Chain A
Protein backbone atom coordinates (compact mmCIF):
# COMPACT_ATOMS: atom_id res chain seq x y z
CA UNK A 1 0.00 0.00 0.00
CA UNK A 2 1.58 3.24 -1.01
CA UNK A 3 0.64 6.86 -0.65
CA UNK A 4 -1.39 7.23 -3.81
CA UNK A 5 -3.40 4.10 -3.17
CA UNK A 6 -4.12 5.29 0.28
CA UNK A 7 -5.29 8.67 -0.89
CA UNK A 8 -7.59 7.16 -3.47
CA UNK A 9 -9.17 4.77 -1.03
CA UNK A 10 -9.44 7.56 1.52
CA UNK A 11 -11.30 9.82 -0.84
CA UNK A 12 -13.67 7.19 -2.11
CA UNK A 13 -14.43 5.16 0.95
CA UNK A 14 -17.77 5.45 2.68
CA UNK A 15 -16.14 4.31 5.86
CA UNK A 16 -13.82 7.27 5.79
CA UNK A 17 -16.76 9.61 5.39
CA UNK A 18 -18.53 8.24 8.42
CA UNK A 19 -15.39 8.32 10.54
CA UNK A 20 -14.74 11.91 9.50
CA UNK A 21 -18.26 13.06 10.28
CA UNK A 22 -18.21 11.31 13.64
CA UNK A 23 -14.85 12.65 14.73
CA UNK A 24 -15.63 16.14 13.45
CA UNK A 25 -18.75 16.22 15.61
CA UNK A 26 -16.71 14.91 18.52
CA UNK A 27 -14.04 17.57 18.02
CA UNK A 28 -16.70 20.24 17.84
CA UNK A 29 -18.39 19.13 21.05
CA UNK A 30 -15.11 18.76 22.94
CA UNK A 31 -14.00 22.17 21.76
CA UNK A 32 -17.18 23.79 23.03
CA UNK A 33 -17.21 22.10 26.40
CA UNK A 34 -13.46 22.58 26.70
CA UNK A 35 -14.00 26.33 26.37
CA UNK A 36 -15.97 26.34 29.60
CA UNK A 37 -13.82 23.91 31.54
CA UNK A 38 -10.55 25.56 30.51
CA UNK A 39 -11.84 29.01 31.38
CA UNK A 40 -12.82 27.74 34.80
CA UNK A 41 -9.34 26.48 35.58
CA UNK A 42 -10.56 22.92 35.35
CA UNK A 43 -8.49 22.06 32.31
CA UNK A 44 -6.85 18.98 33.74
CA UNK A 45 -9.97 17.56 35.35
CA UNK A 46 -10.60 16.23 31.86
CA UNK A 47 -7.32 14.30 32.11
CA UNK A 48 -8.50 12.78 35.36
CA UNK A 49 -11.88 11.83 33.90
CA UNK A 50 -10.18 10.16 30.95
CA UNK A 51 -7.86 8.04 33.08
CA UNK A 52 -10.52 7.38 35.68
CA UNK A 53 -12.82 5.88 33.10
CA UNK A 54 -10.72 2.70 32.93
CA UNK A 55 -12.13 1.02 36.05
CA UNK A 56 -15.65 1.78 34.88
CA UNK A 57 -14.96 0.20 31.53
CA UNK A 58 -13.52 -2.90 33.16
CA UNK A 59 -16.41 -3.21 35.59
CA UNK A 60 -18.92 -2.81 32.79
CA UNK A 61 -17.21 -5.57 30.89
CA UNK A 62 -17.13 -7.78 33.99
CA UNK A 63 -20.76 -7.27 34.83
CA UNK A 64 -22.20 -7.46 31.37
CA UNK A 65 -19.62 -9.66 29.61
CA UNK A 66 -20.17 -7.49 26.60
CA UNK A 67 -17.43 -5.84 24.61
CA UNK A 68 -19.69 -3.62 22.60
CA UNK A 69 -19.35 0.10 22.73
CA UNK A 70 -22.45 1.21 24.58
CA UNK A 71 -22.01 -0.67 27.87
CA UNK A 72 -18.34 0.23 28.03
CA UNK A 73 -19.26 3.82 27.27
CA UNK A 74 -21.74 3.89 30.16
CA UNK A 75 -19.15 2.35 32.46
CA UNK A 76 -16.66 5.00 31.44
CA UNK A 77 -19.12 7.80 32.20
CA UNK A 78 -20.01 6.40 35.61
CA UNK A 79 -16.46 6.14 36.87
CA UNK A 80 -15.57 9.45 35.26
CA UNK A 81 -18.38 11.17 37.13
CA UNK A 82 -17.37 9.44 40.33
CA UNK A 83 -13.85 10.78 39.96
CA UNK A 84 -15.16 14.33 39.50
CA UNK A 85 -17.20 13.91 42.65
CA UNK A 86 -14.11 12.65 44.50
CA UNK A 87 -12.11 15.67 43.44
CA UNK A 88 -14.69 18.13 44.67
CA UNK A 89 -15.20 16.15 47.87
CA UNK A 90 -11.50 16.22 48.63
CA UNK A 91 -11.32 19.89 47.79
CA UNK A 92 -14.22 20.89 49.96
CA UNK A 93 -13.60 18.66 52.96
CA UNK A 94 -9.87 18.93 53.50
CA UNK A 95 -6.88 21.15 53.14
CA UNK A 96 -5.71 19.23 50.09
CA UNK A 97 -5.57 21.66 47.18
CA UNK A 98 -7.26 21.01 43.88
CA UNK A 99 -4.15 20.09 41.89
CA UNK A 100 -3.22 17.38 44.39
CA UNK A 101 -6.81 16.19 44.50
CA UNK A 102 -6.85 15.82 40.72
CA UNK A 103 -3.46 14.08 40.59
CA UNK A 104 -4.23 11.53 43.25
CA UNK A 105 -7.76 10.79 42.05
CA UNK A 106 -6.42 10.32 38.54
CA UNK A 107 -3.68 7.90 39.48
CA UNK A 108 -5.60 5.87 42.04
CA UNK A 109 -8.59 5.37 39.78
CA UNK A 110 -6.29 4.47 36.90
CA UNK A 111 -4.48 2.05 39.17
CA UNK A 112 -7.79 0.42 40.03
CA UNK A 113 -8.44 0.17 36.32
CA UNK A 114 -5.09 -1.45 35.65
CA UNK A 115 -5.62 -3.89 38.49
CA UNK A 116 -9.07 -4.77 37.19
CA UNK A 117 -7.97 -5.17 33.60
CA UNK A 118 -5.06 -7.40 34.53
CA UNK A 119 -7.37 -9.43 36.73
CA UNK A 120 -9.76 -9.82 33.81
CA UNK A 121 -6.88 -10.87 31.58
CA UNK A 122 -5.85 -13.51 34.09
CA UNK A 123 -9.30 -15.01 34.35
CA UNK A 124 -9.79 -18.29 32.53
CA UNK A 125 -11.06 -17.34 29.12
CA UNK A 126 -10.08 -13.74 29.59
CA UNK A 127 -8.37 -12.03 26.72
CA UNK A 128 -6.15 -9.03 26.27
CA UNK A 129 -8.20 -6.10 27.36
CA UNK A 130 -7.06 -3.89 24.54
CA UNK A 131 -5.46 -1.39 26.84
CA UNK A 132 -3.32 0.10 24.17
CA UNK A 133 -6.24 1.25 22.12
CA UNK A 134 -7.75 2.69 25.29
CA UNK A 135 -4.64 4.71 25.89
CA UNK A 136 -3.85 5.69 22.34
CA UNK A 137 -7.13 5.52 20.44
CA UNK A 138 -7.87 4.08 17.05
CA UNK A 139 -10.46 6.08 15.22
CA UNK A 140 -10.26 4.03 12.05
CA UNK A 141 -11.44 0.93 13.85
CA UNK A 142 -14.66 2.51 15.04
CA UNK A 143 -17.75 0.70 13.90
CA UNK A 144 -20.81 2.34 12.45
CA UNK A 145 -22.77 2.04 15.68
CA UNK A 146 -19.88 3.45 17.72
CA UNK A 147 -19.90 6.47 15.50
CA UNK A 148 -23.63 6.80 15.92
CA UNK A 149 -23.25 6.94 19.68
CA UNK A 150 -20.41 9.44 19.44
CA UNK A 151 -22.42 11.63 17.10
CA UNK A 152 -25.43 11.50 19.39
CA UNK A 153 -23.36 12.52 22.40
CA UNK A 154 -21.78 15.34 20.43
CA UNK A 155 -25.14 16.67 19.25
CA UNK A 156 -26.55 16.45 22.75
CA UNK A 157 -23.61 18.40 24.13
CA UNK A 158 -23.88 21.10 21.51
CA UNK A 159 -27.61 21.57 21.94
CA UNK A 160 -27.38 21.72 25.74
CA UNK A 161 -24.60 24.27 25.46
CA UNK A 162 -26.69 26.45 23.19
CA UNK A 163 -29.65 26.21 25.53
CA UNK A 164 -27.72 26.93 28.70
CA UNK A 165 -25.14 29.23 27.18
CA UNK A 166 -25.65 32.28 29.32
CA UNK A 167 -25.97 30.17 32.47
CA UNK A 168 -22.69 28.38 31.76
CA UNK A 169 -20.92 31.66 31.05
CA UNK A 170 -22.25 33.08 34.28
CA UNK A 171 -21.10 30.26 36.52
CA UNK A 172 -17.71 30.16 34.84
CA UNK A 173 -17.14 33.86 35.17
CA UNK A 174 -18.64 34.82 38.53
CA UNK A 175 -20.10 32.01 40.56
CA UNK A 176 -21.12 34.13 43.54
CA UNK A 177 -23.01 36.54 41.35
CA UNK A 178 -24.84 33.66 39.73
CA UNK A 179 -25.79 32.39 43.19
CA UNK A 180 -27.04 35.82 44.21
CA UNK A 181 -29.12 36.02 41.05
CA UNK A 182 -30.81 32.83 42.12
CA UNK A 183 -29.26 30.24 39.81
CA UNK A 184 -28.66 26.79 41.33
CA UNK A 185 -24.90 26.99 40.82
CA UNK A 186 -24.11 23.54 42.14
CA UNK A 187 -26.59 21.87 39.80
CA UNK A 188 -25.31 23.84 36.85
CA UNK A 189 -21.74 22.86 37.64
CA UNK A 190 -22.72 19.22 37.92
CA UNK A 191 -24.50 19.50 34.59
CA UNK A 192 -21.43 20.98 32.95
CA UNK A 193 -19.29 18.21 34.39
CA UNK A 194 -21.71 15.57 33.12
CA UNK A 195 -21.44 17.01 29.62
CA UNK A 196 -17.67 16.99 29.93
CA UNK A 197 -17.66 13.37 31.05
CA UNK A 198 -19.87 12.45 28.10
CA UNK A 199 -17.48 14.11 25.68
CA UNK A 200 -14.45 12.49 27.28
CA UNK A 201 -16.02 9.04 27.19
CA UNK A 202 -17.00 9.56 23.56
CA UNK A 203 -13.48 10.69 22.75
CA UNK A 204 -11.71 7.70 24.26
CA UNK A 205 -11.99 5.32 21.31
CA UNK A 206 -11.06 8.02 18.85
CA UNK A 207 -8.17 9.71 20.55
CA UNK A 208 -7.26 7.60 23.55
CA UNK A 209 -7.24 8.37 27.24
CA UNK A 210 -4.01 10.28 27.45
CA UNK A 211 -4.82 12.62 24.62
CA UNK A 212 -8.52 13.29 24.90
CA UNK A 213 -7.69 16.06 27.33
CA UNK A 214 -5.87 17.75 24.46
CA UNK A 215 -9.18 18.02 22.61
CA UNK A 216 -10.53 19.93 25.57
CA UNK A 217 -7.57 22.26 25.91
CA UNK A 218 -6.04 23.09 22.53
CA UNK A 219 -9.12 24.43 20.73
CA UNK A 220 -10.23 26.93 23.41
CA UNK A 221 -6.69 28.15 24.03
CA UNK A 222 -6.22 28.74 20.31
CA UNK A 223 -9.61 30.38 20.00
CA UNK A 224 -8.85 32.69 22.92
CA UNK A 225 -5.83 33.99 21.05
CA UNK A 226 -8.05 35.19 18.27
CA UNK A 227 -11.02 36.58 20.13
CA UNK A 228 -11.98 38.41 23.27
CA UNK A 229 -15.66 37.68 23.14
CA UNK A 230 -16.99 34.60 24.83
CA UNK A 231 -19.48 33.69 22.14
CA UNK A 232 -16.79 33.79 19.45
CA UNK A 233 -14.34 31.90 21.61
CA UNK A 234 -16.80 29.07 22.21
CA UNK A 235 -17.86 28.70 18.58
CA UNK A 236 -14.34 29.06 17.24
CA UNK A 237 -13.12 26.53 19.75
CA UNK A 238 -15.65 24.04 18.44
CA UNK A 239 -14.68 24.68 14.84
CA UNK A 240 -10.98 24.30 15.58
CA UNK A 241 -11.62 21.08 17.47
CA UNK A 242 -13.50 19.67 14.51
CA UNK A 243 -10.74 20.83 12.16
CA UNK A 244 -7.97 19.15 14.12
CA UNK A 245 -9.89 15.90 14.32
CA UNK A 246 -10.59 15.86 10.59
CA UNK A 247 -6.97 16.61 9.72
CA UNK A 248 -5.68 14.04 12.14
CA UNK A 249 -7.97 11.27 11.01
CA UNK A 250 -7.27 12.02 7.36
CA UNK A 251 -3.52 12.03 7.81
CA UNK A 252 -3.53 8.80 9.75
CA UNK A 253 -5.56 7.18 6.97
CA UNK A 254 -3.31 8.46 4.21
CA UNK A 255 0.14 7.84 5.64
CA UNK A 256 1.29 4.56 4.16
CA UNK A 257 1.39 1.68 6.52
CA UNK A 258 4.74 0.38 5.39
CA UNK A 259 6.21 3.36 7.16
CA UNK A 260 4.28 2.55 10.22
CA UNK A 261 3.34 -0.99 10.99
CA UNK A 262 -0.27 -1.31 11.88
CA UNK A 263 -0.99 2.25 10.94
CA UNK A 264 -0.51 5.32 13.03
CA UNK A 265 -2.80 5.80 15.99
CA UNK A 266 -5.04 8.78 15.38
CA UNK A 267 -4.67 10.48 18.77
CA UNK A 268 -1.08 11.65 18.43
CA UNK A 269 -1.62 12.95 14.90
CA UNK A 270 -4.63 14.98 15.98
CA UNK A 271 -2.63 16.47 18.83
CA UNK A 272 0.28 17.34 16.57
CA UNK A 273 -2.15 19.09 14.19
CA UNK A 274 -3.61 20.99 17.14
CA UNK A 275 -0.14 21.93 18.38
CA UNK A 276 0.87 23.21 14.95
CA UNK A 277 -2.33 25.24 14.77
CA UNK A 278 -1.70 26.72 18.21
CA UNK A 279 1.92 27.58 17.42
CA UNK A 280 0.92 29.16 14.12
CA UNK A 281 -1.72 31.23 15.92
CA UNK A 282 0.72 32.39 18.58
CA UNK A 283 3.29 33.38 15.99
CA UNK A 284 0.72 35.06 13.77
CA UNK A 285 -0.71 37.02 16.68
CA UNK A 286 2.75 38.12 17.78
CA UNK A 287 3.55 39.26 14.26
CA UNK A 288 0.29 41.17 14.02
CA UNK A 289 1.03 42.89 17.28
CA UNK A 290 4.51 43.76 16.07
CA UNK A 291 3.20 45.21 12.83
CA UNK A 292 0.51 47.25 14.57
CA UNK A 293 2.79 48.64 17.21
CA UNK A 294 3.82 52.02 15.76
CA UNK A 295 0.21 53.17 15.29
CA UNK A 296 -0.82 52.41 18.86
CA UNK A 297 1.33 54.89 20.72
CA UNK A 298 -1.58 56.59 22.43
CA UNK A 299 -3.10 54.41 25.07
CA UNK A 300 -6.81 55.02 24.86
CA UNK A 301 -7.60 54.14 28.42
CA UNK A 302 -5.66 57.08 29.76
CA UNK A 303 -7.07 59.56 27.31
CA UNK A 304 -10.79 59.44 27.95
CA UNK A 305 -10.70 61.56 31.04
CA UNK A 306 -11.23 58.69 33.40
CA UNK A 307 -9.99 59.42 36.82
CA UNK A 308 -9.09 55.98 38.07
Chain B
Protein backbone atom coordinates (compact mmCIF):
# COMPACT_ATOMS: atom_id res chain seq x y z
CA UNK B 1 0.00 0.00 0.00
CA UNK B 2 2.80 2.36 0.78
CA UNK B 3 3.91 3.93 -2.48
CA UNK B 4 7.70 4.51 -2.56
CA UNK B 5 7.17 7.97 -4.05
CA UNK B 6 5.50 10.38 -1.68
CA UNK B 7 5.21 13.32 -4.06
CA UNK B 8 5.54 13.32 -7.81
CA UNK B 9 5.28 16.53 -9.79
CA UNK B 10 5.43 16.75 -13.58
CA UNK B 11 5.56 19.78 -15.83
CA UNK B 12 3.97 21.88 -13.16
CA UNK B 13 3.25 25.46 -13.97
CA UNK B 14 1.58 28.06 -11.76
CA UNK B 15 0.88 31.65 -12.72
CA UNK B 16 -0.64 34.54 -10.76
CA UNK B 17 -2.51 36.39 -13.46
CA UNK B 18 0.09 37.16 -16.07
CA UNK B 19 3.02 36.55 -13.79
CA UNK B 20 4.45 33.03 -13.74
CA UNK B 21 5.40 31.83 -10.27
CA UNK B 22 6.57 28.32 -11.09
CA UNK B 23 7.31 26.68 -14.35
CA UNK B 24 8.36 23.30 -15.63
CA UNK B 25 8.73 21.70 -12.24
CA UNK B 26 9.52 18.01 -12.42
CA UNK B 27 10.46 16.21 -9.26
CA UNK B 28 9.92 13.05 -7.35
CA UNK B 29 10.36 12.83 -3.58
CA UNK B 30 10.66 9.38 -2.00
CA UNK B 31 8.64 8.26 1.01
CA UNK B 32 10.15 8.11 4.44
CA UNK B 33 12.39 11.16 4.01
CA UNK B 34 12.74 14.59 5.52
CA UNK B 35 12.82 17.00 2.59
CA UNK B 36 13.55 20.71 2.55
CA UNK B 37 12.45 23.09 -0.21
CA UNK B 38 14.97 25.87 -0.34
CA UNK B 39 15.28 29.03 -2.39
CA UNK B 40 15.40 32.81 -2.24
CA UNK B 41 12.39 35.02 -1.48
CA UNK B 42 9.75 34.87 -4.14
CA UNK B 43 11.07 31.58 -5.48
CA UNK B 44 7.67 29.97 -5.32
CA UNK B 45 8.29 27.62 -2.40
CA UNK B 46 4.97 28.27 -0.64
CA UNK B 47 3.30 28.32 -4.04
CA UNK B 48 4.60 24.84 -4.75
CA UNK B 49 3.10 23.48 -1.53
CA UNK B 50 -0.22 25.21 -2.07
CA UNK B 51 -0.51 24.10 -5.67
CA UNK B 52 0.27 20.49 -4.79
CA UNK B 53 -2.51 20.65 -2.19
CA UNK B 54 -4.98 22.10 -4.66
CA UNK B 55 -5.26 25.42 -2.86
CA UNK B 56 -4.01 27.23 -5.96
CA UNK B 57 -5.02 26.18 -9.46
CA UNK B 58 -2.33 24.81 -11.76
CA UNK B 59 -1.78 26.38 -15.13
CA UNK B 60 -0.23 23.19 -16.43
CA UNK B 61 1.08 19.81 -15.30
CA UNK B 62 -0.01 17.70 -12.37
CA UNK B 63 1.01 16.52 -8.94
CA UNK B 64 0.48 13.11 -7.41
CA UNK B 65 0.64 12.15 -3.75
CA UNK B 66 1.45 8.48 -3.20
CA UNK B 67 0.49 7.95 -6.82
CA UNK B 68 -2.99 9.45 -6.47
CA UNK B 69 -4.64 12.76 -7.25
CA UNK B 70 -4.82 15.11 -4.29
CA UNK B 71 -8.58 14.67 -4.09
CA UNK B 72 -8.05 10.99 -3.34
CA UNK B 73 -5.11 11.34 -1.02
CA UNK B 74 -6.51 14.02 1.29
CA UNK B 75 -6.72 11.64 4.21
CA UNK B 76 -3.04 10.89 3.97
CA UNK B 77 -1.85 14.49 3.74
CA UNK B 78 -1.48 17.14 6.42
CA UNK B 79 -0.62 20.81 5.94
CA UNK B 80 0.96 23.22 8.40
CA UNK B 81 0.73 26.70 6.86
CA UNK B 82 2.52 29.86 7.85
CA UNK B 83 0.32 30.99 10.67
CA UNK B 84 -0.64 34.56 9.78
CA UNK B 85 -3.88 33.87 7.99
CA UNK B 86 -5.93 32.95 11.05
CA UNK B 87 -8.10 35.16 13.27
CA UNK B 88 -6.54 34.91 16.73
CA UNK B 89 -9.65 36.29 18.41
CA UNK B 90 -11.67 33.31 17.25
CA UNK B 91 -13.19 31.65 20.31
CA UNK B 92 -11.56 28.24 20.13
CA UNK B 93 -9.12 26.53 22.42
CA UNK B 94 -5.82 24.87 21.68
CA UNK B 95 -7.40 21.45 22.04
CA UNK B 96 -10.11 22.45 19.55
CA UNK B 97 -7.42 23.35 17.04
CA UNK B 98 -5.71 19.99 17.49
CA UNK B 99 -9.08 18.25 17.25
CA UNK B 100 -9.68 19.88 13.86
CA UNK B 101 -6.97 17.65 12.53
CA UNK B 102 -9.36 14.72 13.03
CA UNK B 103 -12.19 16.25 10.98
CA UNK B 104 -10.96 14.87 7.68
CA UNK B 105 -11.27 11.34 9.05
CA UNK B 106 -14.67 12.08 10.57
CA UNK B 107 -16.34 13.36 7.45
CA UNK B 108 -19.66 15.13 7.41
CA UNK B 109 -21.95 15.64 10.40
CA UNK B 110 -20.17 13.32 12.79
CA UNK B 111 -18.98 14.68 16.12
CA UNK B 112 -15.47 13.91 17.37
CA UNK B 113 -15.41 10.80 19.55
CA UNK B 114 -13.48 10.31 22.77
CA UNK B 115 -10.85 8.43 20.77
CA UNK B 116 -10.41 11.51 18.60
CA UNK B 117 -10.04 13.65 21.69
CA UNK B 118 -7.42 11.25 23.05
CA UNK B 119 -5.43 11.47 19.81
CA UNK B 120 -5.66 15.26 19.85
CA UNK B 121 -4.51 15.35 23.46
CA UNK B 122 -1.59 13.09 22.62
CA UNK B 123 -0.53 15.30 19.73
CA UNK B 124 -0.51 18.27 22.10
CA UNK B 125 1.80 16.24 24.33
CA UNK B 126 4.05 15.46 21.40
CA UNK B 127 4.65 19.15 20.83
CA UNK B 128 4.77 19.96 24.51
CA UNK B 129 1.79 22.27 24.94
CA UNK B 130 -0.62 19.92 26.71
CA UNK B 131 -0.92 22.37 29.64
CA UNK B 132 -2.36 24.97 27.32
CA UNK B 133 -5.13 22.72 26.03
CA UNK B 134 -8.02 24.85 27.26
CA UNK B 135 -6.49 28.24 26.43
CA UNK B 136 -8.02 30.37 23.75
CA UNK B 137 -5.53 30.53 20.93
CA UNK B 138 -5.05 34.29 21.07
CA UNK B 139 -3.46 33.91 24.49
CA UNK B 140 -0.49 31.94 23.21
CA UNK B 141 2.94 33.18 22.25
CA UNK B 142 4.07 32.95 18.62
CA UNK B 143 6.00 29.75 19.11
CA UNK B 144 3.16 28.13 21.02
CA UNK B 145 0.75 29.00 18.23
CA UNK B 146 3.07 27.40 15.73
CA UNK B 147 3.19 24.27 17.84
CA UNK B 148 -0.61 24.18 18.14
CA UNK B 149 -0.89 24.05 14.35
CA UNK B 150 1.78 21.39 14.23
CA UNK B 151 -0.23 19.38 16.75
CA UNK B 152 -3.24 19.72 14.45
CA UNK B 153 -1.25 18.16 11.64
CA UNK B 154 0.02 15.37 13.87
CA UNK B 155 -3.50 14.60 15.08
CA UNK B 156 -4.58 13.84 11.53
CA UNK B 157 -2.22 10.82 11.50
CA UNK B 158 -1.27 11.49 7.91
CA UNK B 159 1.46 9.83 5.89
CA UNK B 160 2.73 13.02 4.25
CA UNK B 161 3.28 16.29 6.12
CA UNK B 162 3.70 19.53 4.20
CA UNK B 163 4.98 22.39 6.34
CA UNK B 164 5.55 25.99 5.35
CA UNK B 165 8.47 27.49 7.31
CA UNK B 166 7.78 25.68 10.60
CA UNK B 167 10.90 27.18 12.17
CA UNK B 168 10.20 30.80 11.32
CA UNK B 169 10.58 33.06 14.32
CA UNK B 170 11.06 30.45 17.04
CA UNK B 171 14.05 29.88 19.24
CA UNK B 172 16.67 27.17 18.91
CA UNK B 173 15.35 24.89 21.63
CA UNK B 174 11.86 24.77 20.09
CA UNK B 175 13.43 24.19 16.74
CA UNK B 176 15.31 21.21 18.15
CA UNK B 177 12.08 19.88 19.63
CA UNK B 178 10.29 20.12 16.27
CA UNK B 179 13.14 18.42 14.46
CA UNK B 180 12.91 15.56 16.95
CA UNK B 181 9.22 15.21 16.12
CA UNK B 182 10.07 15.14 12.42
CA UNK B 183 12.67 12.47 12.99
CA UNK B 184 10.16 10.38 14.92
CA UNK B 185 7.77 10.70 12.01
CA UNK B 186 10.45 9.55 9.62
CA UNK B 187 11.19 6.59 11.87
CA UNK B 188 7.56 5.50 11.56
CA UNK B 189 7.83 5.66 7.79
CA UNK B 190 6.12 9.04 7.33
CA UNK B 191 7.32 11.67 4.89
CA UNK B 192 7.87 15.32 5.75
CA UNK B 193 8.36 18.08 3.17
CA UNK B 194 9.09 21.53 4.55
CA UNK B 195 9.82 24.93 3.15
CA UNK B 196 13.01 25.84 4.93
CA UNK B 197 14.86 29.14 5.06
CA UNK B 198 18.17 28.31 6.68
CA UNK B 199 20.88 26.77 4.49
CA UNK B 200 23.18 26.09 7.41
CA UNK B 201 20.83 23.77 9.21
CA UNK B 202 19.45 22.22 6.04
CA UNK B 203 22.26 19.73 5.68
CA UNK B 204 21.97 18.74 9.35
CA UNK B 205 18.25 18.18 9.41
CA UNK B 206 17.19 16.97 6.00
CA UNK B 207 18.11 14.02 3.81
CA UNK B 208 16.50 15.27 0.58
CA UNK B 209 16.74 18.82 -0.78
CA UNK B 210 14.79 20.63 -3.47
CA UNK B 211 16.42 23.82 -4.72
CA UNK B 212 13.87 26.14 -6.26
CA UNK B 213 13.92 29.51 -7.91
CA UNK B 214 10.74 29.60 -9.98
CA UNK B 215 12.30 26.70 -11.82
CA UNK B 216 13.68 23.54 -10.35
CA UNK B 217 17.43 23.87 -9.90
CA UNK B 218 18.02 20.49 -8.33
CA UNK B 219 16.27 17.73 -6.38
CA UNK B 220 17.99 14.86 -4.68
CA UNK B 221 19.85 13.61 -1.61
CA UNK B 222 21.41 16.42 0.41
CA UNK B 223 25.05 15.75 -0.28
CA UNK B 224 24.48 15.55 -4.03
CA UNK B 225 22.36 18.67 -4.27
CA UNK B 226 24.09 21.16 -1.99
CA UNK B 227 26.95 21.89 -4.38
CA UNK B 228 28.40 25.34 -4.97
CA UNK B 229 27.21 25.32 -8.54
CA UNK B 230 23.62 24.50 -7.61
CA UNK B 231 23.61 27.13 -4.91
CA UNK B 232 24.94 29.73 -7.31
CA UNK B 233 22.20 28.89 -9.75
CA UNK B 234 19.56 29.12 -7.03
CA UNK B 235 20.64 32.29 -5.31
CA UNK B 236 22.09 33.91 -8.41
CA UNK B 237 25.01 35.92 -7.18
CA UNK B 238 25.07 36.55 -3.48
CA UNK B 239 27.85 34.19 -2.73
CA UNK B 240 30.13 35.02 0.15
CA UNK B 241 28.16 33.48 2.97
CA UNK B 242 27.14 30.58 0.77
CA UNK B 243 30.73 29.87 -0.14
CA UNK B 244 31.52 29.51 3.52
CA UNK B 245 28.55 27.21 3.97
CA UNK B 246 29.81 25.07 1.14
CA UNK B 247 33.30 24.95 2.52
CA UNK B 248 31.90 23.91 5.88
CA UNK B 249 29.88 21.18 4.21
CA UNK B 250 32.80 20.06 2.12
CA UNK B 251 35.12 19.80 5.10
CA UNK B 252 32.45 17.96 7.07
CA UNK B 253 31.76 15.32 4.46
CA UNK B 254 35.38 14.82 3.45
Q: Is A108 an interface residue (CB 8 A)?
A: no
Decide if B74 touches A307 in the complex (CB within 8 Å). no
Residue of A whose beta carbon sits closest to that of B99: A166
Residue of A whose beta carbon sits closest to that of B152: A177
- Give the one of A163, A176, A180 with max B CB within 10 A: A180
Task: Kindly identify, within residues 163 to 190 of chain A, every residue whose CB is under 8 Å from any CB belonging to chain B.
Answer: 163-164, 166-167, 169-170, 172-174, 176-177, 179-182
Residue of B whose beta carbon sits closest to that of A304: B131
Decide if A230 touches B92 in the complex (CB within 8 Å). yes
Q: Is B250 an interface residue (CB 8 A)?
A: no
Decide if B92 touches A306 in the complex (CB within 8 Å). no
Residues from chain A with Cβ under 8 Å of B171 in the complex = 307-308
Residues from chain B with Cβ under 8 Å of A179 in the complex = 53-55
Number of interface residues of A (CB under 8 A): 29
Task: Kindly identify, within residues 142 to 178 of chain B, every residue whose CB is under 8 Å from any CB belonging to chain A.
Answer: 142-144, 146-147, 152, 170-171, 173-174
If A306-B144, A307-B173, A308-B143 touch, does A229 touch B92 (CB 8 Å cutoff)? Answer: yes
Q: Which of B75, B77, B90, B109 contacts A173 (CB 8 A)?
A: B90
Contact string against A for B residues 80-101, beta-carbon threshold 8 Å, 1 for contact and 0 otherwise:
0100011100111100100010
If A176-B55, A181-B103, A301-B141 touch, does A163 touch B109 (CB 8 Å cutoff)? Answer: yes
Task: Kindly identify, within residues 195 to 216 of chain B, every residue whose CB is under 8 Å from any CB belonging to chain A.
Answer: none
Decide if B92 touches A164 in the complex (CB within 8 Å). no
Decide if A180 touches B109 in the complex (CB within 8 Å). no
Q: Is A233 an interface residue (CB 8 A)?
A: yes
CB distance from A181 to the nearest CB of B (A): 4
Q: Which of B90, B135, B147 contacts A308 (CB 8 A)?
A: B147
Residues from chain A with Cβ under 8 Å of B246 in the complex = none
Residues from chain A with Cβ under 8 Å of B252 in the complex = none
Q: Is B222 an interface residue (CB 8 A)?
A: no
Decide if A301 touches B100 in the complex (CB within 8 Å). no
Residues from chain A with Cβ under 8 Å of B77 in the complex = 180
Residue of B whose beta carbon sits closest to that of A232: B91
CB distance from B172 to the nearest CB of A (A): 9
Decide if A307 touches B143 in the complex (CB within 8 Å). yes
Task: Kindly identify, within residues 90 to 147 of chain B, every residue whose CB is under 8 Å from any CB belonging to chain A.
Answer: 90-93, 96, 100, 103-104, 106, 108-109, 111-112, 128-129, 131-132, 135-136, 139-144, 146-147
Task: Kindly identify, within residues 284 to 308 of chain A, every residue whose CB is under 8 Å from any CB belonging to chain B.
Answer: 301, 304, 306-308
Residues from chain B with Cβ under 8 Å of A169 in the complex = 92
Residue of A whose beta carbon sits closest to that of B129: A306
If A182-B71, A307-B173 touch, does A227 touch B81 (CB 8 Å cutoff)? Answer: no
Decide if B55 touches A233 in the complex (CB within 8 Å). no
Decide if A173 touches B87 in the complex (CB within 8 Å). yes
Decide if B103 touches A170 in the complex (CB within 8 Å). yes
Q: Is B79 an interface residue (CB 8 A)?
A: yes
CB distance from B202 to the nearest CB of A (A): 22
- Give the one of A174, A179, A307, A308 with max B CB within 10 A: A308
Residue of B whose beta carbon sits closest to that of A299: B139
Residues from chain B with Cβ under 8 Å of A163 in the complex = 109
Residues from chain A with Cβ under 8 Å of B111 in the complex = 166
Residues from chain A with Cβ under 8 Å of B129 in the complex = 306
CB distance from B81 to the nearest CB of A (A): 6
Bound complex: CA of A120 vs CA of B27, how far in Å? 65
Residues from chain B with Cβ under 8 Å of A170 in the complex = 100, 103
Q: Is A42 an interface residue (CB 8 A)?
A: no
Q: Is A142 an interface residue (CB 8 A)?
A: no
Task: Kindly identify, within residues 244 to 286 of chain A, every residue whose CB is under 8 Å from any CB belonging to chain B.
Answer: none
Bound complex: CA of A179 vs CA of B81, how far in Å? 13
Bound complex: CA of A166 vs CA of B103, how far in Å? 8
Q: Which of B92, B104, B139, B173 contacts A182 (CB 8 A)?
A: B104
CB distance from B76 to the nearest CB of A (A): 11
Residues from chain A with Cβ under 8 Å of B173 in the complex = 307
Decide if A306 touches B109 in the complex (CB within 8 Å). no
Q: Is A224 an interface residue (CB 8 A)?
A: yes
Decide if B139 touches A301 in the complex (CB within 8 Å). yes
Bound complex: CA of A173 vs CA of B96, how far in Å? 11
CB distance from B18 to the nearest CB of A (A): 14
* 17 additional A-B residue pairs with CB within 8 Å, beyond A181-B104, A228-B91: A166-B103, A167-B108, A173-B87, A173-B100, A174-B100, A177-B81, A180-B53, A180-B55, A180-B77, A228-B136, A304-B132, A306-B144, A307-B143, A307-B171, A308-B142, A308-B144, A308-B171
Which residues of chain B have a CB within 8 Å of any CB of chain A? Answer: 53-55, 71, 74-75, 77-79, 81, 85-87, 90-93, 96, 100, 103-104, 106, 108-109, 111-112, 128-129, 131-132, 135-136, 139-144, 146-147, 152, 170-171, 173-174
**Interchain Cβ contacts under 8 Å between A and B, 7 examples:** A176-B55, A176-B85, A177-B81, A224-B91, A230-B91, A306-B128, A306-B144
